[in-house]
Structure 1
Amino acid sequence: MAGKLTTHVLDTVRGGPAAGMTIELWSVDGQTGEKTLLKTIITNADGRTDAPLLVEQEFTSGIYELVFVVGRYFSHYLDTLPKPAFLDRVPIQFGIADPTTHYHVPLLVSPWAYSTYRGS
């Protein structure tokens, strides 16, 4: 059974999916901390990506980082944000130990706070 990596973003200000948010996926070298950009995607109308971020052979054990570009997202519809924004880029670094399972990394976010967890 092949695993996969997925994400979704919920905008807690508007109470729904964060459509149109840019997300970067990085791999992180466990020895050096050096990061390699794997892909950049934009969330769809449901606040999700159209396809899993990693699947099959590209889904391997290791350290990864998702960077959610929340400052740009909120600046599109909130004109009262301070400059610079309190939250601009939200990095979530996590490990994949078992590439045969599903790893889901959701983000609940506002311009002032965020939370995440390992979802299903």
Structure 2
Amino acid sequence: MATPVPAGLARRQFAFTGLALGTAALLPRGAAAQGADTAPRPAQASGPILLHGVSPRLTVHALDTFHGTAATGLRIDFARLSDGQAQPLRSIVVNANGRSDEPLLVGDSYQAGDYELLLHVGDYFAARQARLPAPAFLTQVPVRIRVVNVAERIHLPIQFGPWSYTYSRGS
């Protein structure tokens, strides 16, 4: 007849066994046996994003989180910033996929510098006849970015609603 193991000791044995098995599963095959260096290494893809045949460019993707759709019809004014002043480059209207039909910057126009995208979210929600409190909380959303390395592709996913917005650097 087996001797009963106190509950606290059984839980500890179970936890240590699980920890040992989990650690062994994470090690590369044979690393423990060969004494291989398992120190963390930096990410291998730390350079510019290279897409086969796609030149470096700046693109945007706008998503309406209030309606849960692409921001079709959203107007974005795009400008270069110089000495704190916006120098307009172009205005675009977001297509059915939530993107501009063409990159904002590509080829010779893709230069290092500071840029601003001004999203006209108040007009967008008015055109969609969204039922929102008046006056609107957000009317225009400025997104300011800096292009440093023109060999890299920059994609800006922008999510917005009537009360908030977020954006990040994508690739």
Please give the TM-score of this superposition, normalised by the length of structure 2. 0.66
Aligned to 2:85: 34
Q: Which amino acid aligns with 2:59?
A: T
Pairwise CA RMSD? 1.4
* 18 and 79 in structure 1: CA distance in 2 versus 1, 3 angstrom threshold: closer
Number of residue-to-residue matches in the alignment: 118
Equivalent position to 1:69, from 88, 113, 120? 120
Q: Distance in 2 between matches of 1:2 and 1:37?
A: 24
Identity %: 39
Aligned 8 A contact 1:12 1:108 in 2: yes
Larger Rg: 2
Structure number with higher strand proportion: 1
Is the contact between residue 2 and residue 99 of structure 1 (CA under 8 Å) also seen in structure 2?
Answer: no
Please point out which of 5, 8, 12 is paired with 2:65. 12
Q: Where is the helix percentage greater, Structure 1 or Structure 2? A: 2
Change (3 A) 1:79 1:3: closer
Aligned pairs for 1:1-120 (under 5 A) are 2-29=55-82, 32-120=83-171
- Structure 1, unmatched stretches of 5+, are none
- How much does 1:79 deviate? 4.4
Kindly report structure 1 stretches of 4+ aligned residues shifted beyond 6 Å. Answer: none
Q: 5+ unaligned residues in a row in structure 2: which ranges?
A: 1-53
Cα deviation, residue 101, structure 1: 1.0
